[in-house]
Amino acid sequence: MSENQPFQLLPLISEEQIKNRVEKLADQIAADFGGFELLVIGLLTGSFIFMADTVRALHRRGIKTWIDFIRVESYGMESASNGKVEMKYPLSSPIESRHVLLVDDILDTGYTLQFVKKYVQQKNPKVLKTCVLLDKPSRRKVSIQPDYVGFQVPDAFIVGYGLDYQYQFRELPGLFIVSFENPKSGFTP
Ligand code: IMP
Ligand code: MG
């Protein structure tokens, strides 16, 4: 994806579909963690909207959550990581013996989640589960299976609901494919 190539956004998953799926995921998470307080760790920046909706859905199910964030950066092509992940903003909460839910926007090659999972695991949580809004299994480079997945998506670049393309479109309520093939068939919000 070169920087100035024209593109359009094609609708993939609607706001309503996301809303329904988040409720279902919260049911699953609440069933697994019910009765425990949960430390929810989001990967900045892409997870911020999904995480906000998820913790409020958990609250409606009587689960108390604590919030923290981690920022990592991967190096390589702008939209695909090459396996080198660096910690930019580490965890500030103590997590030993706590129930932890790690949340990311999208699982692509898997390098990012693998790196962060290992980092968190080394701090000895009692339970560590992973939750991603989107899973692109066709692009996986490492063997990693998240505990909770919102949607499986095709091998395309996706924006909206927290995910960006060149720092744009995080605020869109639905999810869209960035399409370079038929620049006239979609729309640019
Ligand atoms: P991974 O390390 O290849 O699994 O990459 C995961 C990270 O790459 C995600 O946290 C996103 O920040 C970014 N990413 C991968 N695919 C997409 C996409 O389709 N849209 C937006 N960001 C993406
Ligand atoms: Mg990310």
Q: pLDDT tens, 93-102? A: 899 999 999 9
| Cβ–ligand 1 contact at 163 (below 6 Å) | yes
| Cβ–ligand 1 contact at 109 (below 6 Å) | yes
CB 41 within 8 A of CB 68: yes
CB 144 within 8 A of CB 107: yes
Catalytic annotation on 108? yes
Average of per-residue pLDDT across 28-57: 96
- Give the distance (Å) from ligand 1 centre to CA of residue 80: 7
**Is residue 2 predicted with pLDDT exceeding 70?**
no
- Per cent of the chain over pLDDT 90 is 84
pTM above 0.85, yes or no: yes
| Cβ–ligand 1 contact at 177 (below 6 Å) | no
